[in-house]
Amino acid sequence: MKLREIAHARAGDKGDISNLSLIAYRAEDYALLERQVTPERVQAHFQGVVHGEVQRFLLPQLGAMNFVMQRALGGGVTRSLALDAHGKSLSSALLDMDIG
């Protein structure tokens, strides 16, 4: 199953840092997210895109978590050559992750 079936996400940016939320649609699916969508897996999922550390912050009462990914935006939003310089579409790429 794709992550998209049980969760939604939004990406934001600050300099060269991408800030990616992941939110379970139903509270009962949060534990699965916490177990499977680890910072290590997110780092591996974004290999070639995110070049720095990935940190995860948990908000269990909201069924949500926040990934802060360093060196993720081609050197920074204001100077990146990327088409999606803000990394807005990283949220959709995260939801493509397989979980089981």
- Nearest approach in angstroms of CB 36 to other proteins is 18
Positions 59 through 98 that interact with other proteins (CB under 8 A): 59, 61-64, 66, 68, 76-79, 81-84, 89-90, 93, 96
DSSP, collapsed to helix, strand or coil, labels residue 63 as: coil
Looking at this protein, which amino acid is placed at residue 23? I
Q: Which of 98, 88, 37 is nearest to 63 (CA)?
A: 37
Positions 24 through 53 that interact with other proteins (CB under 8 A): 25, 45-49
**Whole-angstrom Cα distance, residue 6 to residue 29?**
7
Q: Which two tokens stand for residue 64?
A: 């949500």
Contact set with other proteins (CB under 8 A): 4, 8-10, 12-15, 17, 19, 21, 23, 25, 45-49, 57, 59, 61-64, 66, 68, 76-79, 81-84, 89-90, 93, 96
